[in-house]
Structure 1
Amino acid sequence: MPVEDLIHHVNLTGLAGEGSLYQTGDHVAAWFGGLHLHSLFEPVADLEREQIVGHIAHLSAHDADGQAVPTVDAYARLETDAAVVQFDRLSRTLHALNFLAQRQWAGGFLQLAVHPRHLSAVRQDHGLVFEAILKRCGLAPEDILLDVRGSDLSAPAVQQALANYRQRGYRISAPWPYPAGVPIDQVVHDAGASAAGNTQALPRRLANGLLHAGDLAIFRQAGFRLACGPLIGRPESRCRTTHSRL
């Protein structure tokens, strides 16, 4: 389905809640609660193959005067759980549409953040509404890596949400350490922290925030498979070509 039709569908069916999507040039933008929202994509590299294999979506928000609003402040403006769910879902839809528009050269996986209040506010069928949106975009839950950093993974409500996501085929990214028994696909480590001591078998490991070329050998030796950060590429509106060399 063309991007224009997808925008119309989301706005018409009310999936954007109190917000709306609109097209600006060759990109999709959104409006919610007095904020203009845009997508930025940070490339993720496979350290063994030295290729771009996916992207992390970041939200860029500005008020009506064009002043940048940090994402944490954008969420802090939302007074109800319902507003958080709408804003969170709209943000991920925005990223999916912009990713779709670049699909011919982007490819790879797309990592999307899920706000902790969203996980606790939705009681059941987590990921169902977004799955319907993804399918219209030509994407599937298997293409998506949901980032649940900031959530209490030991909380029963969060574990139920993660189980719902996994049943639908979404993959999960979480920080180390995480509770035993929680199935995680990707473990996120701050590259500023020591890599020593993390020798037990782990899922795919992402070194976040790489700055220097000398760090690459250190983190390869420590068992990190993936990396992102200024050394790999800064967040931009356009995706890097997937499978291109670093």
Structure 2
Amino acid sequence: MPLSDLIRTLNSPSGSLPGHYARSGLDQPFVAVDGRVFLHYANLRLESHFLPIAETRSGKTHGHAASLQVFGLSNRQPIAPEAVFVLPTDDAEFVYLDRLVRTLHALNYLTRPTRGNLLLQVHARHVMSVPADHGLAFEEILRPCGVLPEQVTLEIDIEGVEDLAHLIKAVASYRSRGYGIAISHFGRRQIDFGILRELQPDIVKLDSLLVSSNRPSSNRSLKPIIEALHKLPAQVLVEGIATDAMRKGASAWNIDLLQAHAPLRRLLDPVPVATAGNSPCLRSAA
């Protein structure tokens, strides 16, 4: 399906939306200009950036992690992405926004010349707010885009989740639909292999604080952690390997995957305006 048709369909969801969604732009959120898709919400422009993930041993591209960048529509100032998720007024709006952000990334990923697996973050609040059938609604969005759940790995930060039974059920639902599962920030505050055995993730992303310390004692302790993760079995991913020493360490520690640093915030490009010439089917929802 052409991108313009996909956007038109996504901007016309079946069923009625709450009235306050229109005030924040969620009733017509997507804008496409020059082959790129943007999400307008609460006078903000959300856009996708993709961070390469490489296999440590071969150097081959494993895929990309989707990263969110946010700017003010009027002042063009960068805004912390996490600040967007404090704006929804209730759980339903939060879930809807979280799903739209992943849809934004999927649409932009379609235009990339080389893709591989797509790593998408799912907010823990989303996971816990949805009662059942996790992944079904997103699957119905992905398929018209030509993206299968098998091409997507969902990344979840489980720290602070109290209802572990619901979390395990949700992850099982995602997995049954073909999604891969990644657990992020492992080892940030504690190292709990028990919950990982229950969730059986495909990828475990080590927290940067666990990896970044150059103390010999820390380096020695990392290897048995990675060995235990491999026995689950899971691939181990590290984000932001920035020095030659750390890259060599990644290979020595048998880390499987390396993800690039998040990009430095840049000045905002001119805000694209949908016109009859470049996007005949769309209108701004800001």
What TM-score, normalized by structure 2, do the two folds share?
0.76
Q: Residue in 2 aligned with 1:174?
A: 183
Which of 196, 205, 213 matches 2:223?
196
Task: Say whether residues 1:46 and 2:66 are aligned partners.
Answer: no
The 3 A distance-change label for structure 1 pair 143 and 63 is same
137-146 or 182-191, larger mean C-alpha shift: 182-191
Which of 22, 26, 36 matches 2:45?
36
The alpha carbon displacement at 1:24 in A equals: 2.0
198-207 or 41-50, larger mean C-alpha shift: 198-207
The answer on whether the counterparts of 2:200 and 2:234 sit within 8 Å (CA) in structure 1 is: no
Stretches of structure 1 that go unaligned for 5 or more consecutive residues are 237-246
The answer on whether the counterparts of 1:58 and 1:235 sit within 8 Å (CA) in structure 2 is: no
Give CA-to-partner distance per residue, 1:30-71, whole Å, 9 cap, x none.
112222110010000101111222000011111232122212
The alpha carbon displacement at 1:182 in A equals: 1.5
Give CA-to-partner distance per residue, 1:73-106, whole Å, 9 cap, x none.
111122210111111010000000000122xx22
One-letter code of the match for 1:159? I
Q: Residue in 2 aligned with 1:113?
A: 121
One-letter code of the match for 1:87? L
1:29 is paired with a residue whose SS is strand
More helix by share: 2
Q: Residue in 2 aligned with 1:7?
A: 7
The answer on whether the counterparts of 2:31 and 2:38 sit within 8 Å (CA) in structure 1 is: yes
The alpha carbon displacement at 1:21 in A equals: 0.5
Which of 236, 239, 244 matches 1:205?
236
The alpha carbon displacement at 1:234 in A equals: 4.4
Counterpart-to-counterpart distance in 2, 1:162 and 1:207: 22
Higher Cα Rg, which structure: 2
Identity %: 29
The alpha carbon displacement at 1:137 in A equals: 0.9
Counterpart-to-counterpart distance in 2, 1:205 and 1:234: 22
The answer on whether the counterparts of 1:192 and 1:209 sit within 8 Å (CA) in structure 2 is: no
The alpha carbon displacement at 1:197 in A equals: 2.8
Stretches of structure 2 that go unaligned for 5 or more consecutive residues are 187-191, 266-286
Counterpart-to-counterpart distance in 1, 2:55 and 2:163: 30
The residue correspondences of 1:43-192 to structure 2 (distance < 5 A) are 43-64=52-73, 65-102=75-112, 105-151=113-159, 152=161, 155-175=164-184, 176=186, 177-178=192-193, 179=195, 180-189=197-206, 190=208, 191-192=211-212
Output the aligned Cα RMSD: 2.3
Task: Say whether residues 1:216 and 2:226 are aligned partners.
Answer: no
The alpha carbon displacement at 1:13 in A equals: 1.6
